[in-house]
Amino acid sequence: MAFSMFLRNQACTSRIFTQQVMRLATQPALAHRTVASTLPVRSLAIKDAKLTPILNAVRSLRSSAVRMSAEKGHDHSKLWVVERAVSAALIPLIPIALLIPNKLFDSLMAILITAHSFWGLEAMVVEYVRVLLFGPMIPKVAMGVVYTVTATTLGGLFYLIFNDIGMARGFWRIWRNMKKPKCSK
């Protein structure tokens, strides 16, 4: 975190700093250094290490897993756009659904709120319940809990909408009951 904040600093984002780093990385004395030579223990074991310029070694670092199969990978940027569109759609939908209570707006609001909650819970589980920390079983159980909570939430909201008074009318009934003064006898 501190390193990423350092790299976002104004001094590190300047053109002069970038030019100096590129010049340092492409110098002939450093360009023919092997990656294995930076690790003394490995350099003893590997005699015929392939020469890799430092600049190429830095560019090849990845923070995500390398795709191992030839099949087409998922485009997560489209999911990001959909998540933001759902969040933006909730802003006008919630007041409209509260002002015009009907099953259509209640159903749409239930689906969008449940999807928004699912993506938030899923992001927390993926980010914090990692295989390296908890083993292979607990992350799967946590994702199962997320799916169960999501399905139960959507089912409960649909039950409220189609078999009871609906989400918006339920909200107004709770709001009305909160404003009533309590009589003390």
147 annotated binding-site participant:
no
N-to-C CA span, the chain: 59
Output the CA torsion 176→181→182→185 (10° steps): -140
- How far apart are the C-alpha atoms of 41 and 49, rounded to whole Å? 13
String of DSSP letters for 86-118: HHHHHHHHHHHHHHS--HHHHHHHHHHHHHHHH
Count of CB atoms within 10 A of residue 21's CB? Answer: 13
Extended beta strands in 10-98, E state: none
The token pair that represents 81 in the structure block: 């756009």
Residues within the annotated binding site for a ubiquinone?
128
Residues within the annotated binding site for heme b?
116
Residues within the annotated binding site?
116, 128
